[in-house]
Structure 1
Amino acid sequence: MTTPPFDPPSEKDVATVSAQLGRPARNVIGIAARCVCGAPTVVATKPRLEDGTPFPTLYYLSHPAATAAMSALEATQVMAEFQELLPNDDSLRQQYESAHKTYISDREGIEVVPELAGVSAGGMPVRVKCLHALAGHALAAGPGVNPIGDLALERGRWSPFVCECIDYEATA
């Protein structure tokens, strides 16, 4: 198995993610995307939690400003708009299917969890269900991999190129 390329988490990373989430971070195996200042933005989480629970969300958006932006965007009903694009745009639908397969491949490169067979995140490959998961995947994988995640990042009121971090060390 091949592990997707992400940085292993340092103790400082885990403390920062815990401060970002407002609770202890669980089963973090990597930092899949970082803010321009270096703080974690997306964590990679074990496909099976320590208690044995299957956890399909490999790429978990942790940055509070990014999370807030995706929540605000979801509140505008944009998911329904994005959902309507899928049956009418063959290229977008194929890219979204490919993103789904990439996500599963990344997760299975870490651990195959039979209960998660064929399941990715965010509603892929046929639904738009969670912009947090789709944006997290887009940030982790880079532009052009997850088209709906890319659209969410374009439409959201947050940019991965502008630091909106607080002093996480002071809050940890």
Structure 2
Amino acid sequence: MTRPPFDEVSERDLRIVSAQLGRPARDVVGIAARCVCGAPTVVSTKPRLSDGTPFPTFYYLTHPVATASMSFLEAGQIMVEYTALLADDPQVAAAYARAHDDYLADRGRYGDVAEIAGVSAGGMPTRVKCLHALVAHALAAGPGANPIGDLALAASSWSPDVCRCPDYGVDAA
């Protein structure tokens, strides 16, 4: 579990994240989860970007194979199944509500932004909207912290325990 405060982000981390995203990384405050090879998988981003934009997605999935896997699950409409689970299983719904509160507390360590007060990510606490965000939270906070993120990880073709990183073209220095 790599929750705030995070270790310092290296220039190499930022180069890899930028390569993963295909654009410069913005306002990264930490690497919240890493591949077994050490490459960033999830970044944590300031709740207000340096250009003033509110940014509710504190945990952001950057690993290209992981993001593709979540996109595949989303295209299969698994979010409908997970949203129904929230409605049908009070224990899962309660755990998801706790995940929402934990997410807000983690982000709140980096500042409060009025425009996004009470807004976490991925549809929390009552629906499932974005598996990318929920899996990012699950990877950052650890197993059991986000039940829907855990389910999506289990259903995906990607595993955080097996390196499938592409060559980012980033030197080791």
Report the TM-score when normalising by structure 1: 0.95
Report the counterpart of residue 123 of structure 2 in structure 1. Answer: 123
Report the counterpart of residue 70 of structure 1 in structure 2. Answer: 70
Q: Deviation string for 1:42-62 (max 9, x for gaps)?
A: 000010000111100000000
Residue 79 of structure 1 contacts residue 129 of structure 1 at CA under 8 Å; is this kept in 2? yes
Report the counterpart of residue 45 of structure 1 in structure 2. Answer: 45
Counterpart AA for 2:82: F
CA deviation after TM superposition for structure 1 residue 72, in Å: 0.4
CA deviation after TM superposition for structure 1 residue 169, in Å: 3.1
Counterpart AA for 1:126: T
**Aligned-partner Cα distance in 1 for 2:48–2:142:** 24
Residue 12 of structure 2 contacts residue 170 of structure 2 at CA under 8 Å; is this kept in 1? no
Percent identical pairs in the alignment equals: 66
Residue 33 of structure 1 contacts residue 41 of structure 1 at CA under 8 Å; is this kept in 2? yes
Q: How does 1:138-149 map to 2 (within 5 A)?
A: 138-149=138-149
Residue 33 of structure 2 contacts residue 42 of structure 2 at CA under 8 Å; is this kept in 1? yes
Residue 95 of structure 2 contacts residue 147 of structure 2 at CA under 8 Å; is this kept in 1? yes
Structure 2, unpaired ranges of 5+: none
CA deviation after TM superposition for structure 1 residue 170, in Å: 4.7
CA deviation after TM superposition for structure 1 residue 168, in Å: 1.5
Structure 1 runs, 4 residues or longer, greater than 3 Å off: none
**Aligned-partner Cα distance in 2 for 1:5–1:144:** 20
**Aligned-partner Cα distance in 2 for 1:159–1:79:** 19
Q: Deviation string for 1:61-117 (max 9, x for gaps)?
A: 000000000000101110000000011101000000000000000000111111111
**2:108 aligned with 1:96, yes or no?**
no
**Aligned-partner Cα distance in 2 for 1:41–1:84:** 29
Give the secondary-structure state (helix, strand or coil) at the position aligned to 1:168: coil
Counterpart AA for 2:30: G
Number of residues paired by the alignment?
169
Counterpart AA for 1:32: A
**Aligned-partner Cα distance in 2 for 1:151–1:27:** 29
Counterpart AA for 2:110: I
**Aligned-partner Cα distance in 1 for 2:62–2:158:** 13
**Aligned-partner Cα distance in 2 for 1:112–1:144:** 26
Report the counterpart of residue 168 of structure 1 in structure 2. Answer: 168
Report the TM-score when normalising by structure 2: 0.95
**Aligned-partner Cα distance in 2 for 1:105–1:36:** 27
Give the secondary-structure state (helix, strand or coil) at the position aligned to 2:137: helix
